Amino acid sequence: MPSSQLRRVLAQLVLALLLLGTAPATASATTVPTGRVVLIGVPGLQWSDLDPQRTPRLWDLVERGASASLSTRTIPPEGRGITCPVAGWLTISAGQRAGSNNCAMPEIPVAAADGTATIPGWADLVAFQQAGSFKADIGLLAQTIVDAGGKVAAIGPGAALAAADKSGNIQKYAPTPAELPDLKPYSLVTAEANELAQAWLRSSTASSPETSGDLAPEARQEAARAADNTVGAILDQVPPDSTVLLVGQADTSTAAHLHTAIAQGPTFPHNFLTATSTRQNSLVTITDTTATVLTGLALPIPESVVGRTWATGGETPATTADTVTQLADADLASQVLRDVREPFFLTLVALQLIFYALAAIALRRQSTSHRRRTLTATQVVAVVSGAIPISTFLAQLVPWWSVSRPMPALIATILGLAGLIAAAAFAGPWRRSVLGPLTTVAAVSSLALLIDVMTGSRLQVNAVTGYEPVTGGRFYGFGNMAFAIYSTGTILALAGLAHALRRRPRLAFALCLGYGLLAIFADGWPRWGADFGGVPSFVLGFAVFMLMLAGRRVSVGRLAVVGAAGAALITVIAIVDWRRPADQRTHLGSFVQQVIDGEGGSVVGRKLGAMLSTLGNLPLTLLSLVALAFLFLVLSRPSRLGAAALSLAYGHAPALRAGLFGALTAALVGFLINDSGIAIPAMALTVAVPLTLAASVRALLLATPTPPAPPSAPAASRAPAAP
């Protein structure tokens, strides 16, 4: 066979294999529902509401079932970051974030004589979803079951929303548990215990659900007691072979909370619950409920359902009380984080700005008598400052949120950890090197976050620079602030490594290339970082670093090739993830499916809008601008005493230039293609600029002559000996 024909045949074979491999894997499932699921919604139920005397039926359910915190993020009403009762039920119905135009209780269905019912205003609810960016397909859950030959029933007006098909019709409706005593004929029964939500809405001082405050503790306890009685009445009618799912699927307070999720049935041993949507040991989401119901009935999960099936997580503590306390503590951490995050960032920005101003004065100081001491102090503070970002994650090793004054505890914990890292940076002989302290802090920043994503991303959950489970933006992998710290730390640490091995350039280049590729892989791999927008940014920044390290020119053409390679890499990773069964995909694979379904444009539009809106974050925008000004207008400006501090540092350690420009490139691209926008360069500069300042100050110290020691005082005459 001629070589040209052989090449054509091989090309056709490769193309055929690629085409065969493009279809995603699908989970095998029957098309007829088997088993029975009873879904009980208790809107507003929090883990702190449970008590063995006040809520004995709920307590017993926890004791015998599997439990987790529930993130209930849906589409909140305008100006309010909470999930309303109607939105919670509709989200379960759609398996996608849904919303409603108010926080009122659900309307009572219009019942027919044959036991069926219709949701009033269903067409308006459908139109409301389609007008939003998520376009939730409400009615999907019940429609899937009905189309497979199953029967669906609802107890209560809220539960009817989850039991309605796409036309708003319910096969069987009962206002109370007593009016539907036999649950055996139904594949899915949705039921509600809405006493907490009713009490919350009644508590409004203006008799308007839009102005409801928080329930008084006594009123909340009584409402929880009443809800427990209703749950007990429902459980008394559940056939023994059923799977029971209980969710607190809405908020009944002015702020969003983590709520209860409990499962009891043959596939749920007594343990914590988890899901691949969160990968956290005791955390699931409201959209996971939809997938869990369908899996419990052995039905396939539609592609538009974004949640994942609940699964067995880690072991619970020895007692039910300890389990409830641990889950309530997770909600406490989320509430404290909400309260301290804004003042923390305002404090961080203010301290950074003050430090840059004082450092600028120290660098311009003319007096040589105290210059060395001033520069040494500046270097130490700069190293501590550069260690603060990674310390915000390491602080999660300490339960700072559980003390009476969490904000001072958080600041003290972060400063203490930053001080320990700085002490390590100055502890060894590397402290004498221009890049020694920088390398230590940057390496800790890179390695700590690398290990964290490899082991479950525990440090980022409820961290002040991490992600909040209560908002449901991300639950695992690299958050955008973590990515900024990680990529900056990685590139600067490799610059320090290259400087340390400057006499062995080939070895330095190989080690930098190896660790850099590992770091990029960890950032994008779905089981670890799962960071769609981070990989192209990281690839470009790392490429700039490696090109400059090798002495090559950084051209637009080379950057375009590298950028295309980065985009191709994350695309391949996303497609590999997409080929897995739908219930095992991360958001990378889910995005591929959204593109296939024609929803990619709306997703990108949401991300772009979120990115542009971050420019309105004045503190972070100001911090970024001031940090850049300090870097290029202060450190790069010659002083009357000699060359610019940054130029001196470049002279001692040329690898610093490559590392700094690589880190800044990653931050800039990250700003442009991630929805966190300005937060990425702000955090990257919070690492890079103080550490670069520390290196520059060390270079100045090496260039500053040591003042001569003062002349020794004449020896004192010896006193006469004592008699």
Angle at the Cα of 487 from the Cα atoms of 634 and 536, rounded to 5 degrees: 110
Residue type at 61 in one-letter notation: L
What are the tokens at 416? 């203490």
| pLDDT, tens only, 68-97 | 999 999 999 887 889 999 999 999 999 999
Q: Quick one: pLDDT band at residue 705, thresholds 50, 70, 90?
A: low
Can you list the positions of beta strands (E) in 199-303? Answer: 243-247, 258-264, 273-274, 283-285
Bridge partners of residue 169, in order along the sequence: 118
Please state the separation of Cα 357 from the chain's center in Å. 33
Averaged pLDDT for residues 575-580: 85
* pLDDT the model gives residue 16: 35
Whether residue 507 is predicted with pLDDT greater than 70 in this model: the reply is yes
Which one is predicted more confidently, 82 or 7? 82
Rounded to an integer, what distance in angstroms lies between the CA atom of residue 467 and that of residue 455?
A: 16
Q: Where are the domains of the chain?
A: 37-316, 330-703
Rounded to an integer, what distance in angstroms lies between the CA atom of residue 50 and that of residue 259?
A: 11
Dihedral, CA atoms, 261, 56, 160, 308, nearest 10 degrees?
10
Rounded to an integer, what distance in angstroms lies between the CA atom of residue 356 and that of residue 362?
A: 10
Whether residue 26 is predicted with pLDDT greater than 60 in this model: the reply is no
Q: Give buried/exposed letters for 547-578 (b at 16+ CB in 10 A, else e).
A: bbbeeeebeeeebeebbeebeebbeebbeebb
Whether residue 19 is predicted with pLDDT greater than 70 in this model: the reply is no
Whether residue 23 is predicted with pLDDT greater than 70 in this model: the reply is no
Neighbours of 203 (CB within 10 A): 16
Please state which of the ranges 400-414, 517-531, 537-551, 596-610 shows the lowest mean pLDDT: 596-610
* pLDDT the model gives residue 611: 67
Q: Quick one: pLDDT band at residue 135, thresholds 50, 70, 90?
A: very high
| pLDDT, tens only, 170-209 | 999 999 999 999 999 999 999 999 999 999 998 864 334 4
Those residues with Cβ within 8 angstroms of residue 209's Cβ, 6 or more apart along the chain or in another chain? 102, 103, 104, 105, 201
Residue with tokens 């995050």: 341
Q: Quick one: pLDDT band at residue 213, thresholds 50, 70, 90?
A: confident
Whether residue 21 is predicted with pLDDT greater than 60 in this model: the reply is no
CB 566 within 8 A of CB 536: yes
| pLDDT, tens only, 623-640 | 999 999 999 999 988 765
The two beta strands, 243-247 and 258-264, are: antiparallel
What are the tokens at 650? 């470049």
For the chain, give the mean pLDDT. 89
Neighbours of 720 (CB within 10 A): 6
* pLDDT the model gives residue 532: 83
Those residues with Cβ within 8 angstroms of residue 381's Cβ, 6 or more apart along the chain or in another chain? 355, 359
CB 664 within 8 A of CB 684: yes
On whether the 37-316 domain is CATH 1.20.1250.20, my answer is no
* pLDDT the model gives residue 39: 99
Closest CA to 212 of 221, 220, 203: 203
* pLDDT the model gives residue 101: 86
Which one is predicted more confidently, 618 or 150? 150
| DSSP string across 54-105 | TSHHHHHHHHHSEEEEEE---BPPTT--S--HHHHHHHHHHTS--B-SS-PP
Closest CA to 421 of 446, 456, 400: 446
Which one is predicted more confidently, 454 or 564? 454
* pLDDT the model gives residue 510: 97
| H or E element that contains 499 | helix 480-500
Rounded to an integer, what distance in angstroms lies between the CA atom of residue 249 and that of residue 489?
A: 40
Rounded to an integer, what distance in angstroms lies between the CA atom of residue 457 and that of residue 459?
A: 6
Q: Quick one: pLDDT band at residue 563, thresholds 50, 70, 90?
A: confident
Neighbours of 32 (CB within 10 A): 12
Q: Quick one: pLDDT band at residue 579, thresholds 50, 70, 90?
A: confident
What are the tokens at 232? 């007990």
Rounded to an integer, what distance in angstroms lies between the CA atom of residue 299 and that of residue 718?
A: 101
* pLDDT the model gives residue 557: 85
Which one is predicted more confidently, 531 or 235? 235
- CA dihedral over 463, 466, 468, 474, signed as positive or negative: negative
* pLDDT the model gives residue 710: 58
Closest CA to 684 of 663, 662, 655, 657: 663
Q: Quick one: pLDDT band at residue 50, thresholds 50, 70, 90?
A: very high
Residue with tokens 């590392």: 659
Whether residue 9 is predicted with pLDDT greater than 50 in this model: the reply is no
| DSSP string across 572-591 | HHHHHHHTS-GGG--HHHHH
Residue with tokens 């006193």: 719
Whether residue 319 is predicted with pLDDT greater than 50 in this model: the reply is yes
Please state which of the ranges 108-122, 159-173, 358-372, 678-692 shows the lowest mean pLDDT: 358-372
CB 59 within 8 A of CB 320: yes
Whether residue 28 is predicted with pLDDT greater than 60 in this model: the reply is no
Averaged pLDDT for residues 118-123: 97
Q: Quick one: pLDDT band at residue 15, thresholds 50, 70, 90?
A: very low
Rounded to an integer, what distance in angstroms lies between the CA atom of residue 119 and that of residue 170?
A: 8
* pLDDT the model gives residue 607: 66
Rounded to an integer, what distance in angstroms lies between the CA atom of residue 164 and that of residue 154?
A: 9
* pLDDT the model gives residue 205: 41
Number of separate helices (H) and strands (E) present in the chain: 23, 13
Category of 123 on φ-ψ map: left (φ > 0), alpha (ψ -120 to 50) or beta: alpha
Q: Quick one: pLDDT band at residue 643, thresholds 50, 70, 90?
A: low
* pLDDT the model gives residue 570: 82
Q: Quick one: pLDDT band at residue 366, thresholds 50, 70, 90?
A: low
pTM of whole model > 0.85? yes
Averaged pLDDT for residues 117-134: 95
Q: How far is CA 34 from CA 151, 182, 187, 582, 601, in A?
A: 11, 18, 7, 21, 38
Please state which of the ranges 28-32, 43-47, 51-55, 304-308 shows the lowest mean pLDDT: 28-32
Q: Quick one: pLDDT band at residue 720, thresholds 50, 70, 90?
A: very low
What is the share, in percent, of the chain residues with pLDDT greater than 90?
Answer: 73
